[in-house]
Amino acid sequence: MPTLAIVGAGPGMGLAIARTFGSRGFDVALIARTKEKLETLVDQLGQEGIKAAAFPADILDRASLTDALDAAKARFDGIDVLEYSPAPHSPVPGFTLAAPSEVTVDNLQLQIEYSFYGAVTVAQAVLPAMREAGAGTLLFTTGGGSVDPVPMLGNVNAAQAALRNWVINLNKELAGSGVYAGHVAVSVWIGGGAVARDGAPEGFPTATPEQIAPLYWDLHEKRDRPEAIFSA
């Protein structure tokens, strides 16, 4: 069975992506900070006939992240698709939002650690085996501000734009290798119904995880573009 690893797995996008791939025959490795929350997702997927396992790790602890992916590779005999979309956990000391004129090295550094360095870490953990096999998919998620920045997210957007640049360049490097790298920019508020209405800024478009998740399968299957932007 092929295996999907989701880094930053949660009950929203992570679960929806797990279901999208799991319903098509994939086993699923779930990676996030909280073991109990991961095990709840494992149980949910198991009830739907999808084999999944939990591998706790902290995005900001690169050694634990690598260890979790190594454990997932051992458990499932390799990783065929990796998806990276961590959401900041709270509270995180120093993890703040800043307008472009308020960006400092300090408030940008943690965003880069989280968005960019974590992504590089997970890629290095799985890419060598994918290149040797001549097959594999790497998918990385950011907000739409990585493409069209928003002033209130000056530091977040800068870090995610760095990730976007690197992913698109990685896709160029991997051309012809059998390994594909793709970037997904989600330009909507992720939620549904009352959740979306209560959380989204006024007038901001919304979409449910179930509406967004098929895009990841489409990129994995077609491999015809380095980037997809989901907008309402």
Q: What is the pLDDT of residues 29-40, one digit of tens each?
A: 999 999 999 999
The pTM assigned to this predicted structure is: 0.93
What residues pair up with 3 in beta bridges, in sequence order?
Answer: 27
- The CA-atom distances, in angstroms, between 26 and each of 23, 67, 80, 100 are 7, 22, 9, 41
Q: What is the pLDDT of residues 161-194, one digit of tens each?
A: 999 999 999 999 999 999 999 999 999 888 754 3
Give residue 88's identity as a one-letter amino acid code. Answer: P
**All structural domains of the chain:** 3-230 (3.40.50.720)
